[in-house]
């Protein structure tokens, strides 16, 4: 990880890494400003090294500010914080005395139209957010990729301009989390690098590169190592760190399974040197978690991290993750130095193609499956610049797809509570 600038989001993470502390973070957003403040306070005072999160509501993500405003006026409980319509003074009051150099706050949203969100967070005194022109467009609807690229260029430059106000703006890629599941890691790694390069091209000097925990720990280790090496090559003058997301697909339905899943994500993050972990809770499979459940997950991850060996990297098989990622990067960058234009062209030609993504700008010619060892593999590669390297027969029926989608849930829910292979023993929950 490169050196960060004092006072930045990246600096807070770097300081924790220097102390060999994993930064843990919830995905938390409440529409009531008082409750949002309570959630941030609980996060800050958790027995863990944390950063804060304000997740934005769905109306605001879609730039439907009229509906967001109406919902607030009618007292409707939204699925996130209506940052743009709440007003700068209210959000500043939410953050008053709470946001500090060692507890920065990040705005999370999911928008292909992020311009007004970025202006609102800057006005509120926040300088960290996340997303990307591809990762916050293709999975979430039919918004044109070309428009998303243009919008993200404007928003990124707006955020970068906040440097003049004495801050060091930070952007986190969401490219390593595409669709949450069933996307082979070589493509996730490449998309994370490409979105980071896009941010840098539009003026950002501090980034984090995302990767989501997938179906096999060894393959995840291989992917994170590839992401680290490629970041060193493609982002040589940039402050960067790696952020790992606990599994984003169909989550274990049992408490024990969910806790084991988080334990494994934590161990993966610590041992592979990811600086930050986005946690999930034991309630994920059933409903939106409470503040108390989020805090319990943060503290569980912190306890697990303390028992792990920082930077301990066991040998893993080379299954070609880095080789694939490099082929994707070479293919996209061959279209020119403008990363946004190159991404649009790469999707148009099918050189980038997300499995099972129904967006009209995605070719839809690729398929993936989970092989007999639990690793994600390509079953159909369409026009991707890679070759399918497995001869294993994949079940691409609807039944086969459902089996793959529920693979991780079944793996963790069916495991023995104590001493299951590849899992850490469960601890008594404090929630």
DSSP label at 176? Answer: G
Structurally, the chain folds into a number of domains equal to 1
Instruction: Tell me the C-alpha to C-alpha distance, in Å, between residue 381 and each of 193, 216, 386.
Output: 21, 21, 7
Cα(165)–Cα(255) distance, rounded to whole angstroms? Answer: 45
Question: If pLDDT is split at 50, 70 and 90, which confidence band does 7 have?
Answer: low
Copy the structure tokens of residue 179. Answer: 């669709």
- Boundaries of domain holding 72: 1-431
Cα(62)–Cα(289) distance, rounded to whole angstroms? Answer: 23
Query: pLDDT tens digit string along 279-310?
Result: 999 888 888 889 999 999 999 999 999 999 87
Cα(417)–Cα(104) distance, rounded to whole angstroms? Answer: 36
Query: pLDDT tens digit string along 26-61?
Result: 999 999 999 999 999 999 999 999 999 999 999 999
Copy the structure tokens of residue 57. Answer: 């509501």
Could you identify the residue written with the tokens 């467009």?
Answer: 137
Query: pLDDT tens digit string along 151-177?
Result: 999 999 999 999 877 778 999 999 999
Looking at residue 396, what is its pLDDT? 84
Cα(89)–Cα(265) distance, rounded to whole angstroms? Answer: 38
Least confident of 10-14, 313-317, 349-353: 313-317
The predicted model scores a pTM of: 0.93
Average of per-residue pLDDT values in the chain: 91
Query: pLDDT tens digit string along 207-245?
Result: 999 999 999 999 999 999 999 999 999 999 899 999 999
Instruction: Tell me the C-alpha to C-alpha distance, in Å, between residue 241 and each of 19, 103, 162, 321.
Output: 15, 17, 21, 20
Task: Judge contact between 80 and 29, C-beta under 8 A.
Answer: yes
Task: Judge contact between 251 and 280, C-beta under 8 A.
Answer: yes
Looking at residue 79, what is its pLDDT? 92
Domain of 130, CATH number, reads 3.20.20.240
Cα(212)–Cα(128) distance, rounded to whole angstroms? Answer: 20
Strand 128-131: give its sheet, edge to edge.
Answer: 49-50, 23-25, 276-278, 239-245, 206-212, 170-173, 128-131, 105-108, 52-55
Percent of residues, the chain, with pLDDT higher than 70: 94
Burial of 96 (0-12, 13-18, 19+ CB in 10 A): exposed
One DSSP character per residue, 314-380 reads ------SHHHHHHHHHHHHHTT-S-HHHHHHHHHHTTSS--TT---TTS---EEEEE-TTS-EEEEE
């Amino acid at each position: 990880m490169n050196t960060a600038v004092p006072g930045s989001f990246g600096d807070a993470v770097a300081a924790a890494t220097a102390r060999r502390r994993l930064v843990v973070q919830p995905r938390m957003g409440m529409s009531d400003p008082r409750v949002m403040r309570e959630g941030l306070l609980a996060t800050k005072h958790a027995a863990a090294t944390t950063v804060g999160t304000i997740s934005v509501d769905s109306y605001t993500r879609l730039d439907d500010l009229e509906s967001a405003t109406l919902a607030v006026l009618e007292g409707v409980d939204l699925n996130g914080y209506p940052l743009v319509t709440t007003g700068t003074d209210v959000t500043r009051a939410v953050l008053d005395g709470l946001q500090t150099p060692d507890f920065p706050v990040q705005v999370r949203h999911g928008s292909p139209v992020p311009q007004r969100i970025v202006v609102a967070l800057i006005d509120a005194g926040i300088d960290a957010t996340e997303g990307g022109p591809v990762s916050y467009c293709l999975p979430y609807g039919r918004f044109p990729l070309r428009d998303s690229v243009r919008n993200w260029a404007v928003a990124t430059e707006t955020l970068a301009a906040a440097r003049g106000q004495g801050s060091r703006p930070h952007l986190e890629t969401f490219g390593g989390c595409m669709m949450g599941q069933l996307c082979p890691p070589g493509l996730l790694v490449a998309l994370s690098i490409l979105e980071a390069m896009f941010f840098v091209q539009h003026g950002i000097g501090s980034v984090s590169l995302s990767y989501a925990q997938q179906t096999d720990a060894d393959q995840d280790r291989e992917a994170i190592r590839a992401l680290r090496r490629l970041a060193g090559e493609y982002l040589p003058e940039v402050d960067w760190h790696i952020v790992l997301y606990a599994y984003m697909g169909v989550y274990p339905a049992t408490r024990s399974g969910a806790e084991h899943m988080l334990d494994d994500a934590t161990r993966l993050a610590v041992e592979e040197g990811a600086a930050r972990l986005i946690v999930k809770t034991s309630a994920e499979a059933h409903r939106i978690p409470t503040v108390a459940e989020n805090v319990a997950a943060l503290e569980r991850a912190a306890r697990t991290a303390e028992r792990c060996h920082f930077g301990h990297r066991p040998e893993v098989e080379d299954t070609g993750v880095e080789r694939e990622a490099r082929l994707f990067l070479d293919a996209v960058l061959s279209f020119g130095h403008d990363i946004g234009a190159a991404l649009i062209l790469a999707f148009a030609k099918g050189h980038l193609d997300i499995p099972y993504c129904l967006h009209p700008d995605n070719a839809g010619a690729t398929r993936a499956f989970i092989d007999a060892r639990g690793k994600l593999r390509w079953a159909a590669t369409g026009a991707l610049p890679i070759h399918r390297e497995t001869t294993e027969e994949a079940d691409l029926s609807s039944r086969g797809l459902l089996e793959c989608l529920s693979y991780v849930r079944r793996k963790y829910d069916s495991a023995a509570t104590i001493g299951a292979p590849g899992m850490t023993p469960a601890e008594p929950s404090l929630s």
